[in-house]
């Protein structure tokens, strides 16, 4: 068991906690995945289901991670050792650390593409290119042998520099600056998009409920998206909440974070779809939407140069505040369990993530030939982390709080030892004990193909 740390870094203010945690939640998952998933799954109808999941399942899972992190004041692995000594629950934390390695390597690779696109926006590289040329530009860049690698290392380095400065002077300091910038850029992009002629179709596409498109699969898709978007299921929020002061109200913090995450996702949809419709472009999917379709729009749009630059900056900032939260999971584990200095822990974590990251970055280039279960390394890590590790981790986390830690301890933590009312507690505990485990188990079994709904 890990010893009691003598002085532990912590967040300095409630705003700092919210900026950092919302920074983790808001990322690539909100800005390119969410709008596309909503569009493909019935627009407004999907949105209603998604919102219900964020409130009914996402919030309780987030609060469960907060209970584990703040009551133990440890990293994701050590937390379980403190709360359930002598039991194998620490394996859940270890799984989180492993998931952090996997997510960081492929997520940073995509984040690196954002830097190339910031550079291209700056150099006016999209100008005069046809849709096919822009598509070729993306696939050629991605299969290049060194450019994706270069940007991967730059992004990884930026992430490491923030983490090395610590929780208050690194994570909190930078997220407090970056998150308001992100909001500001997004507001500008939303205004530009909805004021384009023909924007209406995009708003209808996004918000008009089409219940005929809702199937059991769609419902499960909404839950999966909520998980990834809220950064739950792998100990990121256990780690962050271990730095939250005992006086802070966990209930209202989790509400603010979930609200901000959802708001930004919806705003990303408002920034993207009206523009897509205004230019008569088919709403594309996944990475194509952001890296091929949007440059095509920007180069036709008045003021496109500046909006393109702003958009990719937005994407980069959103990704950075997420990658730092994932790196912190590994660094906190190295510092507290392996007793390394923060500096050594950061570089060791960065170097080891880079091994996998190099393979991810080269997944369309030099290492394209490496296939595991028919997927390249990038695809495999993406699949394993999002579809196996996160839901399984989330499931075990709620089971731990509901059935192992128990009502008394959870209530004490959420009410700050009786100082706060925590009126939501009975509903929260009921979800954590029964509803969330069943709902998450269904998603998990569906995603690994054991059941088919």
Question: Which residues, numbered 30-49, are part of the site for ligand PFF (CB under 6 A)?
Answer: 30
Secondary-structure percent of the chain, ordered helix, strand, coil, rounded to 5? 75, 0, 25
CB of 323 to ligand PFF, least distance (A): 8
Give the residue among 57, 65, 320, 306 at the shortest CA–CA distance from 174.
320
Tokens of 319: 């990704």
Q: Estimate to the nearest angstrom the gap between the alpha carbon of 2 and the chain centroid.
A: 29
Rounded CA-CA distance 315/110 in Å is 10
x/- track of binding to ligand PFF for residues 235-254 (CB under 6 A): -x------------------
Q: Does 109 bind ligand PFF (CB under 6 A)?
A: no
Judge contact between 103 and 234, C-beta under 8 A.
yes
CB of 225 to ligand PFF, least distance (A): 9
Tokens of 433: 């004990």
- Give the Cα-Cα-Cα angle 87, 93, 97 (nearest 5 degrees): 150
CB of 395 to ligand PFF, least distance (A): 15
Number of residues that bind ligand PFF (CB under 6 A): 15
Question: Which residues, numbered 206-235, are part of the site for ligand PFF (CB under 6 A)?
Answer: 228-229, 231, 234
Q: Does 73 bind ligand PFF (CB under 6 A)?
A: no
Q: Give the position of tokens 């179709």.
A: 201
Give the residue among 442, 410, 368, 363 at the shortest CA–CA distance from 152.
363
Q: Does 357 bind ligand PFF (CB under 6 A)?
A: no
**Contact with ligand PFF (CB under 6 A) among 75, 322, 363, 446:** 322
DSSP for residue 58? I
Q: Does 121 bind ligand PFF (CB under 6 A)?
A: no
Q: Estimate to the nearest angstrom the gap between the alpha carbon of 306 and the chain centroid.
A: 26
- Of 13-21, 24-32, 75-83, 278-286: span binding ligand PFF (CB under 6 A): 24-32
**Contact with ligand PFF (CB under 6 A) among 326, 331, 353, 396:** 326
Q: Give the position of tokens 């492929």.
A: 106
Q: Does 114 bind ligand PFF (CB under 6 A)?
A: no
- Of 20-28, 109-117, 120-128, 443-451: span binding ligand PFF (CB under 6 A): 20-28
The residues that touch ligand PFF, with contacts defined as CB under 6 A, are 24-25, 27-30, 103, 228-229, 231, 234, 236, 322, 325-326
């Amino acid at each position: 068991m890990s010893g009691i740390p003598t002085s532990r870094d912590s967040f300095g203010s409630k705003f700092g906690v919210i900026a950092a945690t919302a920074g983790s939640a808001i990322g690539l998952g909100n800005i390119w995945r969410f709008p596309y998933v909503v569009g493909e799954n019935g627009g407004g109808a999907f949105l209603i289901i998604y919102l219900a999941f964020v409130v009914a399942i996402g919030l309780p899972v987030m609060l469960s991670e907060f209970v584990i992190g703040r009551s133990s004041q440890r990293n994701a692995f050590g937390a379980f050792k403190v709360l359930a000594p002598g039991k194998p629950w620490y394996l859940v934390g270890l799984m989180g650390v492993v998931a952090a390695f996997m997510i960081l390597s492929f997520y940073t690779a995509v984040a690196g593409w954002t830097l190339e696109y910031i550079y291209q926006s700056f150099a006016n590289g999209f100008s005069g290119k046809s849709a096919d040329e822009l598509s070729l530009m993306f696939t050629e860049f991605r299969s290049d042998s060194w450019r994706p690698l270069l940007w991967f290392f730059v992004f990884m380095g930026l992430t490491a520099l923030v983490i090395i400065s610590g929780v208050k002077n690194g994570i909190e300091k930078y997220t407090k600056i970056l998150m308001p910038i992100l909001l500001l850029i997004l507001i500008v992009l939303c205004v530009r998009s909805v004021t384009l002629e023909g924007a209406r179709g995009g708003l209808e596409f996004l918000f008009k409920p089409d219940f005929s498109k809702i199937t059991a699969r769609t419902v499960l898709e909404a839950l999966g998206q909520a998980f990834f978007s809220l950064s739950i299921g792998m100990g990121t929020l256990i780690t962050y909440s271990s730095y939250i002061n005992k006086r802070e109200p966990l209930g209202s913090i989790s509400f603010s974070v979930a609200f901000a995450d959802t708001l930004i996702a919806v705003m990303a949809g408002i920034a993207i779809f009206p523009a897509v419709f205004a230019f008569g472009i088919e709403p594309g999917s996944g990475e194509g939407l952001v890296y091929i379709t949007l440059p095509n729009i920007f180069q036709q749009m008045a003021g496109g140069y500046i909006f393109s630059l702003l958009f990719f900056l937005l994407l980069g900032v959103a990704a950075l505040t997420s990658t730092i939260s994932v790196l912190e999971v590994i660094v906190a584990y190295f510092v507290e369990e392996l007793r390394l200095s923060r500096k050594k822990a950061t570089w060791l974590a960065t170097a080891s993530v880079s091994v996998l990251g190099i393979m991810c970055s080269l997944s369309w280039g030099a290492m394209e030939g490496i296939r595991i279960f028919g997927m390249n390394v990038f695809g495999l890590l993406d699949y394993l982390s999002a579809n196996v590790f996160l839901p399984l981790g989330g499931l075990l986390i709620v089971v731990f709080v509901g059935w192992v830690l128990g009502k008394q301890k959870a209530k004490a933590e959420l009410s700050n030892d009786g100082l706060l009312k925590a009126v939501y507690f009975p509903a929260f505990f009921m979800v954590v004990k029964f509803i969330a485990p069943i709902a998450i188990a269904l998603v998990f079994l569906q995603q690994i193909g054991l059941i088919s709904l």
